[in-house]
Amino acid sequence: MEIRQLIARQRAYFQSGATLPARARVEALRALRSAVAAREEELNDALRADLGKSAFESYMCEVGMVLSELTYMIRRTPAFAADRRVRTPLAQFAARSYVKPSPYGTVLIMSPWNYPLLLTLDPLIDALAAGNTAVVKPSAYSPATSRVIARLLSECFPPEHVSVVTGGRQENACLLEQKFDYIFFTGSQAVGREVLLHAAQYLTPVTLELGGKSPCIVDETADLKLTARRIVFGKYLNCGQTCVAPDYLLCQESVKDALLEEIVRQITVQFGPAPLDSPSYGKIVNQKHFQRLLGLIQPEKVVCGGTWQEEALRIAPTVMDAVTWQDPVMGEEIFGPILPVLTFSHIPEVLELLKDRPKPLALYLFSRNKGHIRAVTERCSFGGGCVNDVVIHLATSAMGFGGVGESGMGAYHGRVGFETFSHRKSIVDKKTWMDLPMRYQPYLPLYEKLIRRFLR
């Protein structure tokens, strides 16, 4: 179906009111949940084809998280969609004031390739719970998963409710030329800027989920064994192709050597002595990305890994020591299995280092010093993060997930996601059995006294 015609049909369907009842929204979410659960094996196969993910990792990081968001929203959508009464000022007596959540209309959801199921369906779940229709554009770089998503959604919804547009840059450009009521984009900062420029043409509100160089800070009070275990998990999950992966390590000088020893040991524990041969270790998404990552590895600074299999598009978990801010690996978001290590002397130095750098999507701090924890979480600007862990902050529907500054704008998941795709109408229902005269001319001295009493 031609894109303009598809959007017109979605607008007509939305304007019919079919998506507005809370019961209809819940039924849509239940249909989606059943379809995802039924296609788990097919989704696992697609994720393995695109990214080499094991069935365990596919469920833990994609299928299971989608099902969790669906369960959360199915239970809570009626409450989220209900009017919320607020206090009415005395000057507006007699009246009832309330906020009415209302869907924007027809929304565009553009998703990336690194978590192609999760980052396509999670925002869609929130959009459907809020009562919108949606055009979904998955990434061309994860074709197997995109095909399954297209079949899955076509079975659950008529195209006027939810439709998938596949393809590459040409289709992206065509979609961005259209007028949508909301755009939700997950991807790179460069493409995010293009999305924002196109949205400005129609004054379309936008959520941008971008990325950045997310620091992982380790001070001398940290539990080094546990710290290494958790960093290795989060950094090399999905071969480092995770928007909230620790991008680089900022370690206090006094514990750097001990921490590096533990990290190298944990790589062997988690991935075996030959990670490139591990069936649970994924692959780089394509040759272009693979070659870019190889260009960031400086052999003289490698203390672990640094090997690869070009035919399989695999790069071993790699650690680089003695890295400086001028090295190529520190000039861009890595988005791969390379962990550069830098050092600091004292926490104030870290605060000074980070204050003028682009705001990251995530920040992680490993410490048992409450003063350090308070200073870093209060004074550093970042989208979200963890204390004494990595990555897991995005795995809860009870908190919003999003960036700040260069790492994005807006957030989603759970109630925050529902609100992202909703406009909150403020309504005053004024009663007719009383009408205070003070606002009407002629303005009398008595009325002025009353106004001053009410408004202070």
Annotation says 62 is catalytic: no
> Is 63 within a domain?
yes
Residue 454 has pLDDT above 90, yes or no: no
Helix (H, G, I), strand (E, B) or coil at 304: strand
> Is 435 within a domain?
no
- pLDDT tens-digit map of 196-226: 999 999 999 999 999 999 999 999 999 999 9
Query: Do 412 and 356 lie in a common domain?
Result: no
Q: Average pLDDT, stretch 437-455?
A: 89
> Is 442 within a domain?
no
Q: Which residue would you say has higher pLDDT here, 165 or 93?
A: 165
Residue 44: name the closest of 31, 62, 28, 27 by CA. Answer: 62
pTM summary value: 0.95
Q: Average pLDDT, stretch 126-133?
A: 98
| Signed CA dihedral, 114, 115, 119, 120: sign only | positive
Name the active-site residue from 209, 220, 333, 419: 209
> Is 451 within a domain?
no
Query: Do 362 and 240 lie in a common domain?
Result: yes
Place of tokens 């959508």: 77
CB 191 within 8 Å of CB 175: no
Instruction: Return left, alpha or beta for 265; rule: phi > 0 is left, psi -120 to 50 is alpha, else beta.
Output: alpha
Percent of the chain exceeding pLDDT 70 equals: 100
| Signed CA dihedral, 429, 432, 433, 437: sign only | positive
Query: Do 163 and 306 lie in a common domain?
Result: no
> Is 441 within a domain?
no
Q: Average pLDDT, stretch 297-315?
A: 96
**How high is the pLDDT of residue 97?**
95
Helix (H, G, I), strand (E, B) or coil at 67: helix
**How high is the pLDDT of residue 453?**
87
Angle in degrees, CA 396, 402, 405, rounded to 5:
155
Q: Average pLDDT, stretch 8-14?
A: 97
pLDDT band at 90 (very low <50, low <70, confident <90, very high): confident
* Domain containing residue 253: CATH number: 3.40.309.10
**How high is the pLDDT of residue 1?**
62
- pLDDT tens-digit map of 373-395: 999 999 999 999 999 999 999 98
Average pLDDT of the chain to the nearest whole number: 96
**How high is the pLDDT of residue 438?**
87
Instruction: Return left, alpha or beta for 5; rule: phi > 0 is left, psi -120 to 50 is alpha, else beta.
Output: alpha
Does an H or E element contain 362, and which?
A: strand 362-366
Query: Do 110 and 30 lie in a common domain?
Result: yes
**How high is the pLDDT of residue 456?**
81
Query: Do 205 and 221 lie in a common domain?
Result: no
The Cα 241–Cα 282 span in angstroms is 10
pLDDT band at 396 (very low <50, low <70, confident <90, very high): confident
Query: Do 350 and 418 lie in a common domain?
Result: no
What phi and psi values does residue 313 have, to the nearest 5 degrees? 55, 45
> Is 437 within a domain?
no
Query: Do 240 and 205 lie in a common domain?
Result: no
Name the active-site residue from 61, 156, 216, 243: 243
Query: Do 234 and 274 lie in a common domain?
Result: yes
Residue 370 has pLDDT above 70, yes or no: yes
Query: Do 224 and 295 lie in a common domain?
Result: yes
> Is 13 within a domain?
yes
Cβ within 8 Å of residue 343, ≥6 positions away:
250, 251, 252, 253, 256
Cβ within 8 Å of residue 26, ≥6 positions away:
74, 77, 78
Query: Do 282 and 161 lie in a common domain?
Result: no
- pLDDT tens-digit map of 54-71: 999 999 999 999 999 999
Query: Do 132 and 56 lie in a common domain?
Result: yes
* Domain containing residue 36: CATH number: 3.40.605.10
Distance of CA 110 to the CA centre of its chain: 12
Angle in degrees, CA 205, 211, 214, rounded to 5:
140
- pLDDT tens-digit map of 160-189: 999 999 998 999 999 999 999 999 999 999
Annotation says 61 is catalytic: no
> Is 238 within a domain?
yes
Query: How does DSSP assign 369-429, residue by residue?
Result: -HHHHHHHHHHS--SEEEESS-SGGGS-TTS-EE--GGGEE-EESHHHHHHHTEEEEEEEE
What phi and psi values does residue 214 have, to the nearest 5 degrees? -85, 115
Query: Do 35 and 168 lie in a common domain?
Result: yes
* Segments forming the whole domain that contains residue 56: 3-210+408-425
Distance of CA 440 to the CA centre of its chain: 50
Indicate the number of domains in the chain: 2
